[in-house]
C-alpha cells in the first residue's frame, strides 16, 4: 500500500467510518478508530505503522513477518503492528473489518449485517 499518509487515512476512514458505531478521535498524539470506547486501530504517524486489534496475530505474522509484527510493548495486548508500505489493501481491509467484529456489540453486528450483506 502507498505510504502517502493522506491516502492511507482516507482508506482507513472509508473502510471503518461506515461501520456502525465507529468513531475517530486522537489517542495520545495519533488518530485512532474506536467502537464501544475500545480501539479497533491506532495509527502511528511517526513510524508509518498501524496497531490493529486482532485475535489472529500469530497467523498474520507467520504469513508475512515483514509486514505484520509486534514489539515488546504489544506482547500482552491483542494488537499487531502493520507496516503501511508493504500491506496489501485487501489484507488491511480484512484486518480492519475483523477487528471491528471483535469489538462491536451484537446489536452493532446485526445492524452491519442488515446494511452491508
Q: How far apart are CA 9 and CA 7, in angstroms?
A: 5
Sorted by sequence, the CB contacts under 8 Å of residue 42 that are 6+ apart come out as 27, 30, 31, 32, 33, 50, 51, 52, 79
Domain coordinates in residue numbering, the chain: 5-105
Fold of 5-105: 3.90.1150
Number of Cβ within a 10 Å radius of residue 112: 18
Beta bridge partners of 1: none
Q: What is the pTM of this model?
A: 0.93
Per-residue pLDDT of the chain (117 residues; tens, 9 = 90+): 555 888 999 999 999 999 999 999 999 999 999 999 999 999 999 999 999 999 999 999 999 999 999 999 999 999 999 999 999 999 999 999 999 999 999 999 999 999 887
Amino acid at each position: 500500500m502507498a505510504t502517502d499518509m493522506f491516502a492511507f487515512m482516507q482508506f482507513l476512514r472509508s473502510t471503518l467510518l461506515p461501520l456502525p458505531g465507529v468513531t475517530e478521535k486522537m489517542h495520545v498524539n495519533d488518530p485512532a478508530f474506536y467502537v464501544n470506547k475500545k480501539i479497533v486501530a491506532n495509527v502511528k504517524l511517526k513510524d508509518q505503522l498501524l496497531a490493529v486489534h486482532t485475535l489472529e496475530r500469530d497467523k498474520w505474522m507467520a504469513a508475512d513477518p515483514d509486514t505484520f509484527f509486534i514489539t515488546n510493548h504489544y506482547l500482552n495486548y491483542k494488537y499487531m503492528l502493520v507496516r503501511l508500505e508493504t500491506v496489501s489493501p485487501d489484507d488491511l481491509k480484512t484486518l480492519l473489518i475483523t477487528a471491528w467484529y471483535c469489538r462491536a456489540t451484537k446489536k452493532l453486528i446485526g445492524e452491519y449485517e442488515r446494511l452491508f450483506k
